[in-house]
Amino acid sequence: MTQSTGLFITFEGGEGVGKSTQIHRLADVLRRRGHDVLVTREPGGSLGAEAVRHVLLSGAAEEFGVRMEAMLFAAARSDHIEQVIRPAVAEGTIVLCDRFMDSSRVYQGITGNLEPQFIQNLERIAVNGMIPDLTLVLDLPASVGLGRAKAREGKDAAPDRFEKEEVSTHEKRREAFLDLTRTEPERCKLIDATQAEDLVALAILAEVDSLLHEGTTDEPAKGQKA
Protein backbone atom coordinates (compact mmCIF):
# COMPACT_ATOMS: atom_id res chain seq x y z
CA MET A 1 0.00 0.00 0.00
CA THR A 2 1.60 3.23 -1.08
CA GLN A 3 0.79 6.61 0.39
CA SER A 4 -2.26 8.27 -1.17
CA THR A 5 -1.61 11.36 -3.29
CA GLY A 6 -2.96 14.72 -2.24
CA LEU A 7 -5.61 16.43 -4.29
CA PHE A 8 -6.74 19.98 -4.76
CA ILE A 9 -10.50 20.42 -5.26
CA THR A 10 -12.22 23.79 -5.55
CA PHE A 11 -15.88 24.76 -5.26
CA GLU A 12 -17.23 27.62 -7.32
CA GLY A 13 -20.52 29.30 -8.13
CA GLY A 14 -22.57 32.37 -7.35
CA GLU A 15 -23.85 33.62 -3.99
CA GLY A 16 -25.85 31.19 -1.84
CA VAL A 17 -25.40 28.09 -4.03
CA GLY A 18 -24.57 25.95 -0.99
CA LYS A 19 -20.82 25.57 -1.38
CA SER A 20 -19.92 25.60 2.29
CA THR A 21 -22.59 23.06 3.30
CA GLN A 22 -21.45 20.74 0.54
CA ILE A 23 -17.75 21.17 1.28
CA HIS A 24 -18.32 20.10 4.87
CA ARG A 25 -20.42 17.13 3.81
CA LEU A 26 -17.74 15.99 1.39
CA ALA A 27 -15.02 16.52 3.99
CA ASP A 28 -16.92 14.27 6.43
CA VAL A 29 -17.26 11.46 3.90
CA LEU A 30 -13.61 11.62 2.89
CA ARG A 31 -12.43 11.73 6.50
CA ARG A 32 -14.56 8.70 7.34
CA ARG A 33 -12.76 6.90 4.52
CA GLY A 34 -9.43 7.71 6.14
CA HIS A 35 -8.25 10.64 4.05
CA ASP A 36 -6.57 13.67 5.51
CA VAL A 37 -8.78 16.59 4.50
CA LEU A 38 -8.24 20.32 4.79
CA VAL A 39 -11.15 22.70 4.30
CA THR A 40 -10.22 26.23 3.38
CA ARG A 41 -11.67 29.26 1.60
CA GLU A 42 -10.89 32.37 -0.39
CA PRO A 43 -10.34 35.20 0.01
CA GLY A 44 -8.47 34.02 3.10
CA GLY A 45 -7.21 30.69 4.34
CA SER A 46 -3.76 31.88 5.46
CA LEU A 47 -2.63 34.63 7.81
CA GLY A 48 -1.64 36.99 5.02
CA ALA A 49 -4.77 36.32 3.00
CA GLU A 50 -7.10 36.72 5.98
CA ALA A 51 -5.56 40.14 6.55
CA VAL A 52 -6.57 41.10 3.00
CA ARG A 53 -10.04 39.48 3.21
CA HIS A 54 -11.59 42.20 5.28
CA VAL A 55 -10.27 44.94 3.00
CA LEU A 56 -11.97 43.24 0.04
CA LEU A 57 -15.29 42.14 1.54
CA SER A 58 -15.95 45.30 3.53
CA GLY A 59 -15.74 47.25 0.28
CA ALA A 60 -12.76 49.28 1.55
CA ALA A 61 -10.86 48.59 -1.68
CA GLU A 62 -13.82 49.25 -3.99
CA GLU A 63 -13.13 52.94 -4.44
CA PHE A 64 -9.64 52.16 -5.72
CA GLY A 65 -11.04 50.23 -8.68
CA VAL A 66 -11.44 46.70 -9.98
CA ARG A 67 -7.77 46.34 -10.91
CA MET A 68 -6.74 47.05 -7.36
CA GLU A 69 -9.28 44.54 -6.07
CA ALA A 70 -8.12 41.91 -8.57
CA MET A 71 -4.52 42.39 -7.46
CA LEU A 72 -5.50 42.08 -3.81
CA PHE A 73 -7.39 38.83 -4.52
CA ALA A 74 -4.29 37.60 -6.37
CA ALA A 75 -1.96 38.59 -3.52
CA ALA A 76 -4.19 36.81 -1.02
CA ARG A 77 -4.32 33.76 -3.30
CA SER A 78 -0.58 33.58 -3.67
CA ASP A 79 -0.07 33.62 0.11
CA HIS A 80 -2.80 31.02 0.61
CA ILE A 81 -1.26 28.70 -1.98
CA GLU A 82 2.34 28.94 -0.85
CA GLN A 83 1.63 28.88 2.90
CA VAL A 84 -1.22 26.38 3.03
CA ILE A 85 -2.44 24.65 -0.13
CA ARG A 86 0.77 23.52 -1.82
CA PRO A 87 2.38 22.15 1.36
CA ALA A 88 -0.83 20.30 2.33
CA VAL A 89 -1.26 18.65 -1.07
CA ALA A 90 2.43 17.69 -1.06
CA GLU A 91 1.86 15.88 2.23
CA GLY A 92 -1.00 13.84 0.79
CA THR A 93 -3.93 15.92 2.06
CA ILE A 94 -7.11 16.43 0.06
CA VAL A 95 -7.61 20.20 0.07
CA LEU A 96 -11.19 21.45 -0.41
CA CYS A 97 -11.28 25.15 -1.15
CA ASP A 98 -14.37 27.38 -1.17
CA ARG A 99 -13.72 29.61 -4.22
CA PHE A 100 -10.41 29.99 -6.05
CA MET A 101 -9.06 31.37 -9.32
CA ASP A 102 -12.33 30.92 -11.23
CA SER A 103 -14.01 33.42 -8.91
CA SER A 104 -11.43 36.00 -9.99
CA ARG A 105 -11.98 35.12 -13.65
CA VAL A 106 -15.73 35.59 -13.21
CA TYR A 107 -16.14 38.39 -10.63
CA GLN A 108 -13.18 40.58 -11.58
CA GLY A 109 -12.65 39.43 -15.16
CA ILE A 110 -16.14 39.04 -16.60
CA THR A 111 -18.35 41.25 -14.43
CA GLY A 112 -15.48 43.58 -13.49
CA ASN A 113 -14.72 44.05 -17.19
CA LEU A 114 -10.99 43.60 -16.79
CA GLU A 115 -9.01 42.68 -19.87
CA PRO A 116 -8.60 38.90 -20.19
CA GLN A 117 -4.82 39.30 -20.57
CA PHE A 118 -4.56 41.16 -17.25
CA ILE A 119 -6.57 38.47 -15.44
CA GLN A 120 -4.56 35.69 -17.10
CA ASN A 121 -1.25 37.26 -16.12
CA LEU A 122 -2.36 37.77 -12.53
CA GLU A 123 -3.66 34.22 -12.37
CA ARG A 124 -0.42 32.76 -13.71
CA ILE A 125 1.65 34.61 -11.14
CA ALA A 126 -0.67 33.95 -8.19
CA VAL A 127 -1.53 30.33 -8.93
CA ASN A 128 2.06 29.46 -9.84
CA GLY A 129 1.12 26.05 -11.26
CA MET A 130 -1.27 25.05 -8.48
CA ILE A 131 -4.21 24.39 -10.82
CA PRO A 132 -7.08 22.49 -9.15
CA ASP A 133 -7.41 18.80 -9.98
CA LEU A 134 -11.18 19.26 -9.96
CA THR A 135 -13.49 22.28 -9.82
CA LEU A 136 -17.12 21.72 -8.85
CA VAL A 137 -19.34 24.46 -10.22
CA LEU A 138 -22.58 24.64 -8.24
CA ASP A 139 -25.29 26.13 -10.40
CA LEU A 140 -28.50 27.83 -9.32
CA PRO A 141 -30.57 30.75 -10.66
CA ALA A 142 -29.02 33.93 -9.24
CA SER A 143 -32.23 35.13 -7.59
CA VAL A 144 -32.60 31.84 -5.69
CA GLY A 145 -28.98 31.96 -4.52
CA LEU A 146 -29.21 35.57 -3.38
CA GLY A 147 -32.39 34.75 -1.45
CA ARG A 148 -30.63 31.88 0.31
CA ALA A 149 -27.59 34.03 1.12
CA LYS A 150 -29.86 36.66 2.61
CA ALA A 151 -31.77 34.09 4.69
CA ARG A 152 -28.49 32.63 5.95
CA GLU A 153 -27.10 36.00 7.01
CA GLY A 154 -30.33 37.25 8.55
CA LYS A 155 -32.69 39.54 6.70
CA ASP A 156 -31.39 42.72 8.33
CA ALA A 157 -27.72 42.02 7.69
CA ALA A 158 -26.00 44.28 5.17
CA PRO A 159 -24.93 42.48 1.98
CA ASP A 160 -21.15 42.38 1.39
CA ARG A 161 -19.25 44.18 -1.37
CA PHE A 162 -20.22 41.64 -4.04
CA GLU A 163 -23.64 40.45 -2.84
CA LYS A 164 -25.01 43.97 -3.08
CA GLU A 165 -24.72 44.07 -6.87
CA GLU A 166 -27.67 43.85 -9.30
CA VAL A 167 -29.38 40.52 -9.97
CA SER A 168 -28.44 40.94 -13.66
CA THR A 169 -24.76 41.04 -12.64
CA HIS A 170 -25.22 37.85 -10.63
CA GLU A 171 -26.95 36.22 -13.63
CA LYS A 172 -23.98 37.19 -15.80
CA ARG A 173 -21.72 35.49 -13.28
CA ARG A 174 -23.85 32.38 -13.39
CA GLU A 175 -23.46 32.27 -17.17
CA ALA A 176 -19.70 32.79 -16.86
CA PHE A 177 -19.40 29.90 -14.40
CA LEU A 178 -21.47 27.72 -16.77
CA ASP A 179 -19.14 28.68 -19.61
CA LEU A 180 -16.21 27.32 -17.62
CA THR A 181 -17.81 23.88 -17.54
CA ARG A 182 -18.02 24.05 -21.32
CA THR A 183 -14.54 25.44 -22.03
CA GLU A 184 -12.69 23.35 -19.44
CA PRO A 185 -14.87 20.22 -19.14
CA GLU A 186 -12.02 18.06 -17.85
CA ARG A 187 -11.45 20.21 -14.78
CA CYS A 188 -14.78 21.99 -14.25
CA LYS A 189 -17.83 19.84 -13.53
CA LEU A 190 -21.35 21.21 -13.44
CA ILE A 191 -23.42 20.38 -10.36
CA ASP A 192 -27.14 21.17 -10.42
CA ALA A 193 -27.62 22.94 -7.08
CA THR A 194 -31.39 23.22 -7.49
CA GLN A 195 -31.65 19.58 -6.38
CA ALA A 196 -32.21 18.50 -2.78
CA GLU A 197 -29.10 18.82 -0.62
CA ASP A 198 -28.58 15.03 -0.45
CA LEU A 199 -28.69 14.72 -4.23
CA VAL A 200 -26.21 17.57 -4.65
CA ALA A 201 -23.91 15.77 -2.19
CA LEU A 202 -24.20 12.53 -4.19
CA ALA A 203 -23.45 14.29 -7.48
CA ILE A 204 -20.35 15.87 -5.94
CA LEU A 205 -19.18 12.58 -4.46
CA ALA A 206 -19.57 10.89 -7.85
CA GLU A 207 -17.21 13.43 -9.43
CA VAL A 208 -14.70 13.14 -6.60
CA ASP A 209 -14.83 9.34 -6.73
CA SER A 210 -14.15 9.28 -10.44
CA LEU A 211 -11.10 11.46 -9.81
CA LEU A 212 -9.91 9.27 -6.93
CA HIS A 213 -10.26 6.12 -8.97
CA GLU A 214 -8.55 7.39 -12.07
CA GLY A 215 -4.81 7.39 -12.68
CA THR A 216 -2.41 6.26 -10.04
CA THR A 217 -4.14 7.56 -6.93
CA ASP A 218 -4.44 4.81 -4.40
CA GLU A 219 -7.79 4.20 -2.80
CA PRO A 220 -8.65 3.56 -0.06
CA ALA A 221 -6.15 5.79 1.72
CA LYS A 222 -4.03 4.61 4.63
CA GLY A 223 -5.18 1.02 4.29
CA GLN A 224 -8.71 1.69 5.51
CA LYS A 225 -11.91 0.46 3.99
CA ALA A 226 -13.66 2.78 1.53
Binding site for ligand TYD (CB under 6 A): 15, 41-43, 57, 73, 98-99, 103-104, 107-108, 160, 162-163
Phi, psi of 50 (to 5 degrees): -65, -30
Q: Is the dihedral of CA 23, 151, 180, 191 positive or negative?
A: positive
Which of 93/111 has CB closer to ligand TYD? 111
Residue 36 CB, nearest approach to ligand TYD (Å): 24
Locate the DSSP E strands across 21-170. Answer: 37-41, 94-98, 134-139
Neighbouring CB atoms inside 10 A of 217's CB total 15
Residue 52 CB, nearest approach to ligand TYD (Å): 11
Which of 163/221 has CB closer to ligand TYD? 163
Residue 174 CB, nearest approach to ligand TYD (Å): 13
Residue 135 CB, nearest approach to ligand TYD (Å): 13
Which of 73/177 has CB closer to ligand TYD? 73
Q: Rounded CA gap, 37 and 83, in Å?
A: 16
Q: Which of 66, 64, 163, 166 is nearest to 112 (CA)?
A: 66
Which of 99/189 has CB closer to ligand TYD? 99
Q: Rounded CA gap, 194 and 140, in Å?
A: 6
